[in-house]
Chain A
Amino acid sequence: MTGSDGLEVRDVVVRYGQRRGHAGTTAVDGVSLDVAAGEVLALLGPSGCGKSSLLRAVAGLEPVAGGTVTFDGADLAGVPVHRRGFGLLFQEGQLFPHRDVAGNVGYGLADRPRAERAARVAELLSLVGLDGFATRSVAELSGGEKQRVALARALAPRPRLLLLDEPLSALDRGLRERLAVEIRAVLHATRTTAVFVTHDHDEAFTVADRVAVMSAGRLIQVAPPEELWQAPATREVAAFLGYQTFVPDGGELLAIGPAGLQVVPGVSADGDGGDQRWRAVVVAATFRRGRTEVTVDVDLGAGEERLVAVADGPVPQVDEKVGVVLDRRGCAVVHA
């Protein structure tokens, strides 16, 4: 892919606390990754997996201990942060407290004529739905407004690549879901190439064209959201995506998703019609998002586990004995 458009990360290593006679801790351990022009890639992983370190290395804020980062075919080694032409959105926005909203959004446009700058600031504020906020002090903005201003500020200089470091983590859930959709719309409207770091798979699936899953400094799988969900490469990826348990299925493993088990009335352990059926004891039942989620204790073959199953019929009582069956539409096959 050398010479192509977009970001190209090759065997990148990031280490912390390095000094003579001490290798330090390796945060990113030989990651290779491509982001095509105009594509939005989510970097997904649990906290501490190295995803933010990789992002900071791409931005030029962390030195790269090994490997290369290139953009549009040009090696970025030695190019200081401010010459990379990238944008970066932090978790808490990091707005400049001593500048108003327009002063923040216009910060990266210092070299433009005043009129052009003002026009661009107004354009961006309108894009993020904050018309008329230009002269507001950043201290009086809500959390969501702050992140919108931060997004406008990062987009104003038309970055070649926008890096977003868990930009929604500090917000409450409803706002997070709404802003994730808005960010996707804005990124697509401006055709911005972007890398979006998050530990929330719903958020990653909402925003990104492709999702890269990281764990312990390594890249495990890169795939579009549906493909990732339907065919997680490893048990670890599946577990991180929310698959609750695994049962042997021929030579493979069957990953059971949040909707992979169904409660059926009756406790007979025999399957009728070939489907296997297990005895389970109801621990709790909650009505959520239009269906009943039943927490059950059940032994699927690897000892008793506490799992969630979906019930279509009447809500079962606590301590009631029920049967559960697999619903293959909510399961995925993982190579053992």
Chain B
Amino acid sequence: MDGHGHRLTHVATGSALRRRPRWAWLGWGLAAGVPLVFLAVFFGWPVVALVVQGFFADDGVGGRVLDLSGFAEVLSQPRTWRVIGQTLAQATVGTLLSVLLGLPGAYLLYRCRFPGRTLARGLVTVPFVLPTVVVGVAFRHLFTPSGPLGWLGWEESFAAVVVALVFFNYSVVVRTVGGLWERLDPRAEQAARALGATPWRAFRTVTLPALGPAIASAASVVFLFCSTAFGVVLVLGGMRYGTIETEIWIRTTQFLDLRAAAVLSVLQLVVVVAALLVSARLRTRRERALQLTGERSGAHPLDLRTVRDALPAAVTAVVVAGLIAFPLAGLLLRSLRGPDGAWSLANYVALGTTGGRNALSVTVWEATANSLRIATLATVIAVVVGGLVVLVVSRRPRQRGLRRAVGGLDAVFMLPLGVSAVTVGFGFLITLDRPLGFDVDLRTSGLLVPIAQAVVAIPLVVRTMLPVLRAIDPRLREAAAVLGARPGRVLASIDLALAARSLGLAVGFAFAVSLGEFGATSFLARPDAATLPVVIFRLIGQPGAENYGMALAASVVLAVLTATVMMVAERMRGDTGGGEF
């Protein structure tokens, strides 16, 4: 010692301390175990139970035997193939259009600077978080024979569904691709230009390949959303047009044909797992690519005199005005007209009632309160469980086996994104009367709906926070540890401090998703505890101009609530970026 008062360290002998104390293993075990148990009980079990229900038949003496005849039976029906064909066609066309329209949008909103850009970015984000039922109602209003676009004859058609799907997923492409484009070093493209490439050739040979992983990743996510869309298809497609998801709903609720529903669930699962695998592969490539790129330096002032700026600007203006603003404005304006067609607030006044001919068991305002209460609970659950998943999955363990396990955990928690929410909801009904043999009927406890919504929201929480945590240079944690920070302090002062802002966005997403969740909730919510989307769907299914007007007004209320939540969350995020959507 040199008299400088070196800090005291508790140096023990080698045998007394292991590299990782036992409690650390316990902590990580809990962090991984709690979400796994949650997912197993509230996702795996109900889904498996429902599928099993379809595969086993009573053997006549009180037992059950495996019976796969359902597959042959369901697959031999022309109706099944029509539905599968429609699902794939709708998802393919929806994905292609979203990408084609989204690329110019990503360029304009992330590579060009112009006044009002922040506002435009916000506007583009709105559709993604809008509840499916609201979007369905907005477009249905456009395409009804008496609506603004009634002359197109698109009521209950493939085209109507695809347009609504593009409305939803446009922002996914813009944000995913734009987020990468923004960070792309412009000097590679400049080098190509200096070597004599035309702007188009430089874009095609340098920029587009660099964006490839992001585009593919966005496309696979959009494909997933399109192929599992439920609320929009149900509201817009009517009885004439359906997808695997609505077909599962119809077979279970209308025909009580669990066997067919189970077969369809399995088919859908195959499609979804394939899309998720592709997406996960592309995502790791994208995250690797992101590390190679520098700061956000690529944006240039918008110059409408050049084709390369004017064309994307024109396309984006048409999309934002025609596809996004027009239907929403139409919804808002129509909601402000009374049954006689004159301007009035009658529809909003009626939200305090239970509708014409008592269409509902609760008033719309009561349903709104239900929605807020349930969404709060669901958000807490989703953020706690999702946060634990993110914490575990963002680690890079030294051992190969553990690293694989971490990767597996990541993939497993993406599953709820793709498994039909209808399947989850129905599975809840048949399993959770006595969960794990405990004598509590979750179905009447009021916890069932929040839990189901949390299951749906967890993947979004994970995808929002994970990229931020993964982008933390591991050497930051090492620097903190070397400076004497215990593992707990490293977690708090590095991981949590840096992830804090994406936590705000995750909370916003979880809340917005819960507010709009329709698939599972439509199964689980009791009439006296109905949520806003459930009430809206019931209202448009009822006859009477009064109920239709109420549905429009309620949709506006739900849209405003969701948009407000997202705006607050976006503000909390500030300019730190990160996140997938």
The interface of chain A, by Cβ under 8 A from chain B, is 5, 19, 37-38, 59, 61, 63, 71, 74-88, 90, 94, 96-98, 107-108, 110, 153-154, 157-160, 163, 190-191
Residue numbers in A under 8 Å from B77 (CB-CB): none
Residue numbers in A under 8 Å from B10 (CB-CB): 83
Interface pair B475/A94, CB less than 8 Å apart:
yes
25 A-B contacts (beta carbon < 8 Å): A19-B399, A37-B2, A71-B11, A75-B13, A76-B11, A76-B14, A79-B14, A80-B17, A80-B20, A81-B478, A81-B481, A82-B484, A83-B10, A84-B482, A85-B7, A85-B9, A88-B478, A94-B473, A94-B475, A96-B476, A96-B493, A98-B497, A157-B7, A158-B6, A191-B2
Interface pair A98/B11, CB less than 8 Å apart:
no
Whole-angstrom distance between the Cβ of A15 and the nearest chain B Cβ: 11
Whole-angstrom distance between the Cβ of A257 and the nearest chain B Cβ: 37
Q: Check B19 for interface membership: any CB of A closer than 8 A.
A: yes
Residue numbers in B under 8 Å from A74 (CB-CB): 11, 13
Choice from A63, A83, A110, A160 contacting B6 with Cβ under 8 Å: A160
Q: Check B15 for interface membership: any CB of A closer than 8 A.
A: yes
B10, B399, B481, B490 interface centre (most CB from chain A within 10 Å): B481
Interface pair A154/B498, CB less than 8 Å apart:
no
Interface pair A84/B9, CB less than 8 Å apart:
yes
Interface pair B485/A107, CB less than 8 Å apart:
yes
Beyond the given A76-B14, A82-B485, A96-B479, could you list 18 further A-B residue pairs with CB under 8 A, ordered by the A residue number? A19-B400, A59-B478, A82-B482, A84-B11, A84-B482, A88-B478, A88-B482, A90-B478, A96-B476, A96-B493, A96-B494, A107-B483, A110-B489, A153-B479, A154-B482, A157-B483, A190-B4, A191-B2
Beta-carbon nearest neighbor of B476 in chain A: A94
Whole-angstrom distance between the Cβ of B205 and the nearest chain A Cβ: 31
Q: Check B486 for interface membership: any CB of A closer than 8 A.
A: yes
Q: B residues 530-563 with Cβ under 8 Å of A?
A: none
The 3 closest A-B pairs by CB, nearest first: A108-B483, A77-B14, A85-B9
- A59→B475 CA distance, assembly (Å): 12
A80, A81, A96 interface centre (most CB from chain B within 10 Å): A81
Residue numbers in A under 8 Å from B400 (CB-CB): 19
- A96→B473 CA distance, assembly (Å): 10
- A290→B66 CA distance, assembly (Å): 92
Whole-angstrom distance between the Cβ of B64 and the nearest chain A Cβ: 42
Interface pair A154/B9, CB less than 8 Å apart:
no
Q: Check B292 for interface membership: any CB of A closer than 8 A.
A: no
Interface pair A87/B483, CB less than 8 Å apart:
yes
Whole-angstrom distance between the Cβ of B398 and the nearest chain A Cβ: 8
Beta-carbon nearest neighbor of A98 in chain B: B497
Residue numbers in B under 8 Å from A83 (CB-CB): 9-11, 484
Residue numbers in A under 8 Å from B487 (CB-CB): 82
Residue numbers in A under 8 Å from B480 (CB-CB): 96, 107
- A137→B112 CA distance, assembly (Å): 27
Q: B residues 441-498 with Cβ under 8 Å of A?
A: 473, 475-476, 478-487, 489-490, 493-494, 497-498
Residue numbers in B under 8 Å from A107 (CB-CB): 480, 483, 485, 493
- A287→B332 CA distance, assembly (Å): 79
Q: B residues 349-403 with Cβ under 8 Å of A?
A: 398-400
The interface of chain B, by Cβ under 8 A from chain A, is 1-2, 4-20, 398-400, 473, 475-476, 478-487, 489-490, 493-494, 497-498
Whole-angstrom distance between the Cβ of A228 and the nearest chain B Cβ: 26
Residue numbers in A under 8 Å from B490 (CB-CB): 82
Choice from A5, A80, A153 contacting B19 with Cβ under 8 Å: A80
Residue numbers in B under 8 Å from A5 (CB-CB): 1
- Given A78-B16, A160-B6, A108–B498 Cβ distance below 8 Å? no
- A90→B1 CA distance, assembly (Å): 25
- A59→B479 CA distance, assembly (Å): 10
Whole-angstrom distance between the Cβ of B504 and the nearest chain A Cβ: 14
Interface pair A78/B15, CB less than 8 Å apart:
yes
Interface pair B7/A90, CB less than 8 Å apart:
no
Residue numbers in A under 8 Å from B476 (CB-CB): 94, 96
Choice from B17, B475, B486, B493 contacting A79 with Cβ under 8 Å: B17
Residue numbers in B under 8 Å from A81 (CB-CB): 478, 481-482
- A271→B14 CA distance, assembly (Å): 66
Whole-angstrom distance between the Cβ of B406 and the nearest chain A Cβ: 16
Residue numbers in A under 8 Å from B473 (CB-CB): 94
- A38→B2 CA distance, assembly (Å): 8
Choice from B1, B15, B479 contacting A94 with Cβ under 8 Å: B479
Residue numbers in A under 8 Å from B1 (CB-CB): 5, 37
Residue numbers in B under 8 Å from A108 (CB-CB): 483-485
Choice from B482, B493, B497 contacting A87 with Cβ under 8 Å: B482
- A71→B9 CA distance, assembly (Å): 11
- A79→B19 CA distance, assembly (Å): 7
Residue numbers in B under 8 Å from A79 (CB-CB): 11-12, 14, 17
Residue numbers in B under 8 Å from A157 (CB-CB): 7, 483-484
Residue numbers in B under 8 Å from A77 (CB-CB): 14
Residue numbers in A under 8 Å from B498 (CB-CB): 97-98
Beta-carbon nearest neighbor of B482 in chain A: A88
- A1→B370 CA distance, assembly (Å): 74
Interface pair A90/B4, CB less than 8 Å apart:
no
Residue numbers in B under 8 Å from A96 (CB-CB): 476, 479-480, 493-494
Whole-angstrom distance between the Cβ of A79 and the nearest chain B Cβ: 6
Interface pair B19/A78, CB less than 8 Å apart:
yes
Whole-angstrom distance between the Cβ of A210 and the nearest chain B Cβ: 18
Residue numbers in B under 8 Å from A153 (CB-CB): 479, 483
Interface pair A78/B17, CB less than 8 Å apart:
yes
Residue numbers in B under 8 Å from A38 (CB-CB): 2
Interface pair B9/A59, CB less than 8 Å apart:
no
Beta-carbon nearest neighbor of A86 in chain B: B482
Beta-carbon nearest neighbor of A161 in chain B: B6
Residue numbers in B under 8 Å from A190 (CB-CB): 4
- Given A37-B2, A191-B2, A82–B19 Cβ distance below 8 Å? no
Interface pair A82/B6, CB less than 8 Å apart:
no
Interface pair B475/A90, CB less than 8 Å apart:
yes
Beta-carbon nearest neighbor of B401 in chain A: A19
- Given A78-B17, A79-B11, A79-B12, A110–B485 Cβ distance below 8 Å? yes
